[in-house]
Structure 1
Amino acid sequence: MGTSWVDVRDVAEAHALAFIEPAVGGERIIVSAHAFKWQDLTRKIEGDKIPAGNTSYEPSKAKHIHVVADKGRQMLGLKYHSLEETTRHMLHEFKCRGWIT
């Protein structure tokens, strides 16, 4: 089963833009960069060190919610950070805080 992800910097930008863009008043905007599987994130961090396991994904058999996040792009002009960039930034922050070596 997959899930959605977004960089916290994109969420902050969406909030700031929503305050200054009159057209979004009263709108509900889902801020979500993309769907992903946890295996995708593991691969970004560990490369091929961890076996992939079962990477098949059959939407017709999975219980999931499809998130349409077009409003954020259209109404706020959001350009989301990539999963690679978000992962690099997250790992850098973890190292700076001494949470990982």
Structure 2
Amino acid sequence: MAFDDLNPLLHSQLRLAIMSLLISVKEADYKYIKEETRASSGNISVQMSKLEDAGYVEVTKTFKDNKPNTSYTITPEGIEAFETYVNTLQQYLDVNSNDN
């Protein structure tokens, strides 16, 4: 049986965690993502840039209580990439469970 390749962009633990958060909520701000993932600010910024460059997330910068606020939403391309990743991972799991 041939296995499809897992999307290397989503195969990173932090990027996968971020995408999982965004798929479950309509929108998440930077603070929420930082709290939920417990990642450093610098690491989140780098990973969000990679996801944005891939077209998986959309960034909105506004002001909230006179403070800058950055929020993120998952794009249709991001949803498709996430679903494909999960389905591909499921192929791996199904084959392993059939070996028992």
Q: TM-score, normalized by length of structure 1?
A: 0.30
**Bigger strand share:** 2
Q: Which has the higher contact order (CA 8 A, sep 6+)?
A: 1
**Bigger helix share:** 2
